[in-house]
Amino acid sequence: MGLTRREFIKLCMSSAVGASLLTVIGPDLEETLAFAADGKPPVIWIQGASCTGCSISLLNSVEPAIEKVLLDVISLRYHPNVMAGSGHLCAEILEEAASKYQDQFILVVEGGIPTKDKGVYCTIAEKNGKELTMLQAVTTLGKAAKAVIAAGSCASYGGIPGARPNPTGVVGVDQVVKQKPVINISNCPMHPDHFLGTVVYVLKYNQIPELDRYGRPKMFYPEPIHNNCYRRQYFDAGKFARYIGDEGCLAYLGCKGFVAMSDCNKRGWNNNVNWCIKAGAPCQACSEPTFPDESEPFYGVYPLTNKKGVTYPALEPNLKTEFVEHAKVKTS
Amino acid sequence: MAQKIVIDPVTRIEGHLKIEVEVDNGKVVDAKSSGTLFRGIELILKGRDPRDACHIVQRICGVCPIGHGTASMLCLDDAFGVKPPPNGRIVRNLIQGANYLQSHILHFYHLAALDYVKGPETSPFIPRYEGDYRLPKEINDKAVEHYIQALTIRKKAQEMLAIFGAKMPHVTVFTAGGVTEEVSAEKIAQFRQYLQEITSFVDNVYIPDVLAVAKAYGDDGFSIGTGCKNMLSYGAFRLTDEDDPDGQKQLFKRGCYANGQFAPVDKNKITEEVKYSWFEDSTTGRYPGEGATVPAPGKAGAYSWLKAPRYNGLPYEVGPLARQWVDKQKDVIGLGEKAFSVLGRHFARALETSQVAHAMFDWLDQLVPGKPAFAPFDVPKEGAGVGLHEAPRGALGHWIAIRDYRIDNYQAVVPTTWNGGPRDAKGQRGPIEEALVGAPVKDPNNPFELVRIVRSFDPCIACAVHVLEIKSVYKNAKSFII
């Protein structure tokens, strides 16, 4: 029966730099798929207050390639960007999911859920003149689903549309679906490996993976990025970048890698060609429930202490930050 | 007796769109389009650090975050009085170029093609609107293969983008004054490898497929979806480091076209009208830099949450067709009146994809490894800025006002507001509405003609309805959603 659960999680967590998670568990995946072939599990993917970025990110999956996922792994019954049908055909699919496939389908929610004024700020379908709000859809489908996945930081915690002053009362899925644990795949956008790894886990072991206190699969959000950062050496040596493009740890440019619990440092993005800190861009901690309000200003900094116990004082998130001054000295 | 057809949702576009048309004797006699999601991003921006704007605005849309990020960076450069060094300007071009390739390939194959190409008999390709699949079986089968192949190619375009952009969607290297990523010989080489493969796909697969669809659907595709025939482009991809207030030193030049005449663009002639939108009438007709968003739900006669942008009082179509037309690209101009059509838009988009891909090779050669890609700046206590840009879907303008080092006002006028907006005070329909009127509808239960027209504009509703501020409690939800 291939990998044990322990081995699976170990693989997920230890995926070497340069190797996508699902390349490593490829052979095992084939087995899972063969098992699921006679009646691929239906997946219903709905979008609320979203930017579609998580769907786009899913399409960026490297292994398994998205075409394999769509054709062989799951039966994607509903996805607003992908499905062929429009209009009343859509409302009918949603109705069918809730009744015919009760406790069989996986519900994926992308985007936050506007709750203010009974959720009227987002309607997702209409049939016979009756509109379906995102809030109603998540409530109904969430009850009927076998598992519920919140794809991305908006669906997990409210994210950008839920940022202050939160004009439409956006909340994460777990504030609406209370009957069962919601699996949060945070990051803005979500990482395709995190999502597909979780889906494969649920299909293979028929249960949800172990979650951390913010509802995320522990295997993908193991520790702060800072612990094993690409630029960690600089931090310990006290070498800090003073302006954009400078060599060093990005802490003084506003990097939030020491609170961001995501494995970007191991997995990278887009087939691991790059990721934020490697590219000289301070981490915005987009994986955290505090994103974006507590990450702001993105170029503001926290107090830090390095391994030798040396504390670097907090820079005031003053708009005329120090790095600007340093950069001027450097270039003039 | 006129019959009403409502399509809600229109799928395979970005965001939540509803289309409502009246059909009489098999032809559309009236049309309305409404967005059905509101987030209020501009309200969220207020009071934040201006430097963060180019990150927050990317979340307006995950399909074209680069367009918003770029317009925002241009807007911040303007407000801060900073100019990126050559490497910064070129890397921004390469990132935006990669996003054009990704967005256009995705649009044709994964959003629009299933209106012409019959997919396999399995989810998500069924159910679908039946009735008009004309490609010969052999070509259709090939196109289905290309649908799959295009998934890989667009993914590679994203990976190519991330070489300089860190991650996609939502790149973190963007900043006023340039980009954070360094330029190295290794990155240039890696980028070029990706670009070669993608360009080959565009020239040898994408363009031939668009031509094959054009051949099979012929006049039926070139005769529907005419629209307003006014074209507007702000221009994009700065080619030099010299100042360019008129937007002429760009790969796509700034300009407009109306009533058969080409003309330069005067940004002060841009206004937004709200007679048929749920906003206070007192805010109508303003220049976006002085814009206000005061909602008036349930306002008599209004039917949309989109404002109606106008240039010199007229509705304008924006997007690849407008860019190619304004730039007097000979293959598109050569189509004559036929260019203003569903297939004309697909053709212009495909052609443009190839132009951008080939231009990117030159830009790569112009990068100098080791030179800075970022110029420092000060955030002013007070200030204002404008960023005019072309996102893949069309003309995109961002306006910022800064007070006490914080964002005081932020306005974005986006492509889909131009294309998908409602009527104005003179009763002139928005371009998509206008394009729907006169369209034939063979079977009201399978209105494939209508979705073809809407999709040819590549609408992005998350972009278009980002502006909304919602304040009061609405008792009658129905009255403002339709």
Which of residues A1 and B132 earns the better pLDDT score? B132
CA dihedral sign of residues A29, A34, A35, A36 = positive
- Minimal Cβ distance to A54: which of B15, B49, B62: B62
* CB atoms B159 and A83 under 8 Å: no
- Minimal Cβ distance to A270: which of B39, B148, B168: B168
> Mean pLDDT over residues B254-282, rounded?
92
Across B228-258, b (16+ Cβ under 10 Å) vs e yields bbbbbbbbbbbbeeeeeeebebbbbbbbbbb
Which of residues B125 and B338 earns the better pLDDT score? B338
Q: Is B460 exposed, middle or buried (0-12, 13-18, 19+ CB in 10 A)?
A: buried
Minimum Cα–Cα distance from A118: chain B residue: B477
**Which tokens hold the place of A166?**
């939160």
How far is B106 from A218, CA to CA, in rounded Å? Answer: 33
Strand partners for B310: B271
3-class state of residue B228 by DSSP: coil
Phi, psi of A126 (to 5 degrees): -145, 140
How far is A245 from B372, CA to CA, in rounded Å? Answer: 7
- Minimal Cβ distance to A168: which of B38, B165, B172: B38
Residues making up chain B, counted from first to last: 482
Which of residues A24 and B422 earns the better pLDDT score? B422
**Which tokens hold the place of A207?**
């249960």
> Mean pLDDT over residues B463-470, rounded?
41
Residues making up chain A, counted from first to last: 332
* CB atoms B37 and A49 under 8 Å: yes
Q: What is the mean pLDDT of chain A?
A: 82
Minimum Cα–Cα distance from A326: chain B residue: B376
Minimum Cα–Cα distance from A40: chain B residue: B123
Cα A12 to Cα A8, A193, A214, A285, distances in angstroms: 6, 9, 19, 21
* CB atoms A117 and B175 under 8 Å: no
**Residues 277-336 in B contacting A (C-alpha not used; CB under 8 Å):** none
Minimum Cα–Cα distance from B477: chain A residue: A120
Runs of H (alpha helix) within A150-251: 153-157, 192-205, 232-237
Query: Among the listed ranges A141-145, A197-201, A219-223, B85-89, which one has the minimum average pLDDT value?
Result: A197-201
What is the ipTM score, two decimals?
A: 0.88
**Per-residue model confidence (pLDDT) at position B167:** 96
Residues of A within 8 A of B148 (CB-CB) are 67
Query: Among the listed ranges A4-13, A32-41, A110-119, which one has the minimum average pLDDT value?
Result: A32-41
CB B376 within 8 A of CB B80: no
Residues of B within 8 A of A80 (CB-CB) are 9, 11-12, 16
Strand partners for B326: none
pLDDT tens figures, B389-418: 999 999 999 999 999 889 999 988 889 899
**Per-residue model confidence (pLDDT) at position A117:** 82
pTM, entire model: 0.91
Residues of B within 8 A of A163 (CB-CB) are 44, 56
**Per-residue model confidence (pLDDT) at position A318:** 38
Cβ neighbors of A145 (< 8 A, separation 6 or more) are A44, A103, A105, A106, A107, A180
Phi, psi of A317 (to 5 degrees): -70, 50
Residue B9 has pLDDT above 80, yes or no: no
How far is B182 from A244, CA to CA, in rounded Å? Answer: 10
* CB atoms B172 and A279 under 8 Å: yes
**Per-residue model confidence (pLDDT) at position A90:** 78
**Per-residue model confidence (pLDDT) at position B397:** 94
**Residues 75-114 in B contacting A (C-alpha not used; CB under 8 Å):** 106, 110-111, 114
Share of chain B above pLDDT 90, in %: 67
Q: HSE (CB half, 13 Å, CA atoms) of B270?
A: 29
How far is B267 from B234, CA to CA, in rounded Å? Answer: 9
Q: What angle do CA A246, A252, A257 make, to 5 degrees?
A: 100
Residue A221: which pLDDT band, with cuts at 50, 70 and 90?
very high
Which of residues B139 and A7 earns the better pLDDT score? B139
* CA-based nearest distance A59→chain B, Å: 7
Strand bridging mode B270-273 / B308-311: antiparallel
Residues of A marked active site are found at 51, 54, 154, 188, 226, 229, 249, 255, 264, 276, 283, 286
Query: Among the listed ranges A47-51, B250-254, B298-302, which one has the minimum average pLDDT value?
Result: B298-302
* CA-based nearest distance B261→chain A, Å: 37
Residue A320 has pLDDT above 60, yes or no: no
Q: Give residue A82's identity as a one-letter amino acid code.
A: V
Q: Best interface-test mutation with B: which of A60, A89, A293 has the largest number of B CBs within 10 A?
A: A60
CA B39 to chain centre: 19
Cis peptide before B169 (omega within 30 of 0): yes
**Per-residue model confidence (pLDDT) at position A167:** 84
How far is A203 from B230, CA to CA, in rounded Å? Answer: 53
**Per-residue model confidence (pLDDT) at position B83:** 95
3-class state of residue A151 by DSSP: strand
pLDDT tens figures, B139-187: 999 999 999 899 999 999 999 999 999 999 999 999 999 999 999 999 9
pLDDT tens figures, A91-101: 788 888 888 88
**Per-residue model confidence (pLDDT) at position B460:** 78
* CA-based nearest distance B236→chain A, Å: 23
Residue A20 has pLDDT above 50, yes or no: yes
Note whether B69 contacts A: Cβ–Cβ < 8 A.
no
> Mean pLDDT over residues B413-430, rounded?
91
Q: What beta strand segments (E) does B293-381 contain?
A: 308-311
How far is B116 from B131, CA to CA, in rounded Å? Answer: 10
Residue B358 has pLDDT above 90, yes or no: yes
For chain B, helix, strand, coil in percent to 5 are: 45, 20, 40
Dmax (CA) for chain A in angstroms is 70
* CB atoms B6 and A79 under 8 Å: no
Residue B13 has pLDDT above 60, yes or no: yes
- Provide the total of helices (H) and of strands (E) in chain B, helices listed first: 15, 15
> Mean pLDDT over residues A143-155, rounded?
95
> How does DSSP classify residue A316?
P
Q: Give residue B15's identity as a one-letter amino acid code.
A: G
> Mean pLDDT over residues B291-299, rounded?
73
**Which tokens hold the place of A227?**
């612990």
Residue A173 has pLDDT above 50, yes or no: yes
**Which tokens hold the place of B163?**
């070489």
**Which tokens hold the place of B247?**
């937007």
* CB atoms B8 and A131 under 8 Å: yes
Cβ neighbors of A284 (< 8 A, separation 6 or more) are A188, A256, A276, A291, A292, A295, A298, B55, B172
